[in-house]
Amino acid sequence: MRACSIRLREAAVHGMSLSDPNRQPIIVAVRLGSEPIASLALQSGMMPESVLQGIANLVAIGLERARAQGLAEQIEAARQSEQLRTTLIDAMAHEFKTPLTLIKAATTSLLASPDEPNDSRQEQLAIADEEAEHLRKLIDDAVEMARLDTTHIDVHPQISDVQETIRECVASMESEIDDRLLEIGCDKQPPDIAFDRRLMKLAIKQIIDNALKYSPADKPVAVRVLASNGILTIEITDHGPGVPVEEQTRIFHRFYRSPSVKDQIPGSGLGLTIARSIAQAHKGDLTVTSRPGETTFRITLPTSYAGDKK
């Protein structure tokens, strides 16, 4: 076996076919043009050397096609990555303009009028504070999207209580929720399942934040947990204007903002993309059903999920 390995290596390196009929196996160099790229060991009887070389040529063609395909995939991945970076920069630059302009206007006014009445100063400070928070969310979304935009999201699942995770998520959103009504419930005690708590809280937060933005202030946002037939579902329902049928696929695309609301409601167009990416990384999904006055997003997770096998 060792002698055969040495002969294979010599044939691959030097491009020599070793076809001594008194020795088995016969070693044939695999060439791409004039360049040796591999070697092939054949246990042959009376097979002519021309046939053996023909087989080697077919192997060379197959290897080259595989190499070319791999190279093409690498080039396409690099192109898409560069396209994402360009799109991300363009979109973020556009979204940053409004809060930065308002912050600049507020601070300029404060600096230009140091003796301005206190009520007016407080109003300007409130504008600057609100827009700074908007800017922070845009940056957070962009950073998370960049982290998640890989061929593999690094998920660290652990058996967890979904309701507890939702409560932790809601507690972290105190400033966003403020005095809004948020209802949390479930039909029965759902099973503990495996998921990445950090990622799942991020996904739930994105959807709740979305629901709060689009739902009237006097209408509740409902979060409900269901479990049936091996699937755990987290439903988040708002009472906003609804999502038109033709937009129910587009809203999950990066940077998509509905033309009817993008000038009235701030956002990056990344939140739902992030949430769906996280759900799918857990072998689940994020879907939407909507009608005028009610929209429900559903995160579905298989109760059997235990993480990717290494």
Q: What are the extents of the domains in the chain?
A: 2-73, 85-148, 158-302
Contact 204, 236 (CB under 8 A): yes
Mean pLDDT is highest, among 2-6, 44-48, 57-61, 74-78, for: 57-61
Contact 92, 260 (CB under 8 A): no
Q: Which CATH architecture has domain 158-302?
A: 2-Layer Sandwich (3.30)
pLDDT of residue 166: 94
CATH dotted code for 85-148 = 1.10.287.130
DSSP for 140-187 reads: HHHHHHHHH-SSS-----EEE-HHHHHHHHHHTTHHHHTT--EEEEES
pLDDT of residue 12: 46
Distance CA 59, CA 87 (A): 42
Look at the pTM and tell me if it is higher than 0.95. Answer: no
- Give the pLDDT confidence of 217-260 residue by residue, as tens digits: 899 999 999 999 999 999 999 999 999 999 999 999 877 787 77
Selected residue with higher pLDDT from 179 and 16: 179
Distance CA 122, CA 124 (A): 5
- The answer on pLDDT for 141 being more than 80 is no
Selected residue with higher pLDDT from 39 and 288: 288
